[in-house]
Amino acid sequence: MRGPHNIWRLIRTGATFERTGAMGVILDALEAPRSVRIAFRTLVYPFRWLGIEGDPTMPPAPRALSALGPAYIKFGQILSTRPDVVGIEIANQLRVLQDKLPPFGIEKAKTQIESELRLSVDEVFSEFSAPVAAASIAQVHRARRADNGQLVAVKVLRPGIERAFRTDIDAFYFMAHSIETLSPASRRLRPRDVIAHFESVVMGELDLRLESAAASEFAANTAGDDGFQLPSIVWGLSGRRVMTMSWAEGISLGDNEKLDAAGHDRVALSERVLQLFLNHALRDGFFHADMHQGNLKVAANGDIIAYDFGIMGHIDEYTRRVYAEILYGFIRRDYKRVAEVHFEAGYVPADRDVDAFARALRAVGEPIFGMDASHISMARLLSYLFEVTERFGMETRTELILLQRTMVVVEGVARSLNPHMNIWDTAKPVVEDYIKTSIGPRAAIRDLMQTARVLARFGPRLPTLVEAALVRQAEEEVCRRASKWRGRIGWALGGACVAAAVATVLASLA
């Protein structure tokens, strides 16, 4: 770590948080004790004038992060997926970060492309526009291929963005360490682990080959989904710093006036966007984790088009089954089964009372089901569920956080299209279908066949593997006992030496 740089960045960050009013919000989210609050305010307030004022129309937390630059904006976006860390209220506020920054010049973009692809932009593209969108990490240009006339979107990383992010990530680690040192209570939120998660996400986004691969896998999984399409990757014109894909032409899913003018059925679109997400999450275990209106369009034929694959979610088969059973239990209002699923999955400690947990879940679900369809909210359900599970000792399930956050975002998109949408009625057929195919008798037979196939692969080696495992276990037991006896012998020899020394001293005195 570079001390002087990190100390200066820490001062500038603290001053900006104090000046924008975000300092108090963050300390509240961390549940910092009064002594820590006083210490932070005392240290930061004299430097308040060094802080950046930011946009006064924004809430304090996103205002401070957007003022501090690209890395902080991206950090805020990722924190918006972690309500377990910052709380649901701040997570919702951070979702307003639009990641809009001034674009860099078209000549710099061309230089980046030519350096990466080792091809002349003017030879490859017959048309190449000014930036049509600019974000913290990259910007997008509209272009036309010279060889076949295909209209494409060319995504180009900002010049020097890797170095800038690494510098700020270095400072983030320094800040996390400082927070943990000054506020031991904050350690339960694992600030350094949060920074490590941020680093892994950002380093992935800084290699556009990984985003291209994610888009390709997503397209393969969803090829048979009616009413859904994705841009195709042009692999020959893509690399680490450049990604080229077919142009997605359509109306933004957030522009209701244009959707109505074009004759699109917003009720059908609202149901489809929710069911598509649930299908991708439950059926494939691989889903678009940033499905807000800015990343969704409606084609002329009514298909939903998704793009921007920088943040994708993945959940394994077992977690998908647990999540489906929890959703299905709430849909059927079978709170005892929802409670049992939590215990079976090990989410809630086994020493807790399953019946008490079921009653707590009923207190979560029943008030929501009693509401009018337009007020039934998945966001509200998940918020209450967080509170109840925490009270019963459930640790944060990081594999579910991104899934739950995306579910809330998708619900918001669906409701913006149809405020009277019934979330449960729309989700029910997808969840029921998954339950039938993945948890019933057919699924059990399929699991047994899969186990048999795995055993068959190792069949001839199984006796050797079992024998080796037993020998290794026996060796470990022998080593453990030998270590135990070595300790006893050591104590005995030590005692004998001490006794001999004492006897010698006594003899000399005599």
Q: Are strands 151-157 and 125-134 parallel, antiparallel or unpaired?
A: unpaired
Whether the Cβ atoms of residue 254 and residue 248 lie closer than 8 Å to each other: no
* Neighbour count for residue 443 (Cβ, 10 Å): 16
**Rounded Cα distance, 195 and 84, in Å:** 14
328 closest CA partner among 427, 443, 437, 447? 427
Give residue 355's Cα distance to chain centre. Answer: 32
**Rounded Cα distance, 44 and 191, in Å:** 20
Q: Is 244 left (phi over 0), alpha (psi -120 to 50) or beta?
A: beta
3-state per-residue secondary structure call for 425-446: HHHHHHHHHHHHHHCCHHHHHH
- The sign of the dihedral angle between the CA atoms of 78, 81, 85, 88 is positive
Catalytic member of 147, 290, 351, 425: 290
- The sign of the dihedral angle between the CA atoms of 500, 504, 505, 507 is positive
Which SS3 state, helix, strand or coil, does residue 339 take? helix
207 closest CA partner among 232, 168, 239? 239
**Amino acid identity at 142:** R
447 classed as catalytic? no
β-bridge mates for residue 233, sequence order: 245
Phi, psi of 82 (to 5 degrees): -125, 65
Strand ranges (E), 158-206: none
**Rounded Cα distance, 441 and 452, in Å:** 17
Structure tokens at 243: 């990604």
Give residue 333's Cα distance to chain centre. Answer: 29
User: Catalytic residue positions?
Assistant: 290
